[in-house]
Amino acid sequence: MFDFSYVILVLPMLLLSMIAQANVSSTFQKYSRILAANRMTAAEAARRILDSRGLHHIQIIRVAGNLTDHFDPKNNVLALSETVHDSPSVAAIGVAAHEAGHAIQHAEGYVPVRIRSAIVPITQFGSKLSMPIVILGLILGVYPLAYAGILLFGTVAVFQLVTLPTEFDASRRAMAVLSEGYLTDEERVGTKKVLTAAAMTYVAALFVSLASLLRLLLIVNRRR
């Protein structure tokens, strides 16, 4: 039987997510061609930002991939991708400053970061077992079990919801620190566009999760 709930709810959000991903890639490529006047590389900028906040212990490494940049709080490592680490572009410096912003968040005990870290185990558990539990509940006709699976799936949406302020705050911190002699006003315009495009991918991911959650509720209620 054709699933109209998927077409109406989930598919548009998936398309939105694909558009957001394509936009961040094209925006990054565009501003990767604009080099900072001071020719500082992204890795050098990240090192200066971290050191200025007393985070000398955080190591900066180069990792494979494109836009695979991330901060690992367990190992105190700021990983910059191949397209970012050695680049002096305004796009790369913006990405590096954003990840440095995450490091500063952890150092300061930023509340959304603490909440997100606390619910990671629950989210991992929920993302793996939610759908099998929902399906099992539907097959057996045990609807409280199906609703329990939906509740577990909801933890993924909660995680993504908490991720939003974390990402927007990291970008805000990045833009603020880059005004401290790292980039000119004109250069920061491009940087802001890159970070805004990246932030929209997290918004789209949240919409996908919420649409999927609503679809599961509709399916279980319809079967009841």
Ranges of H-type helices in the chain: 4-5, 11-32, 42-52, 82-85, 90-108, 111-140, 143-178, 185-223
| Number of neighbouring beta carbons within 10 Å of residue 62 | 12
Of 188, 171, 170, which Cα lies nearest the Cα of 38?
Answer: 188
DSSP annotation of 59: E
Q: Which member of 44, 82, 99, 167 is catalytic?
A: 99
Q: Based on the residue annotation, tell me whether 99 is a catalytic residue of this protein.
A: yes
Of 107, 25, 39, which Cα lies nearest the Cα of 71?
Answer: 107
Q: In what side-by-side order are the strands of the sheet with 70-72?
A: 59-63, 77-81, 70-72
* Contact between residue 93 and residue 191 where contact means Cβ atoms under 8 Å apart: yes
Active site residues: 99
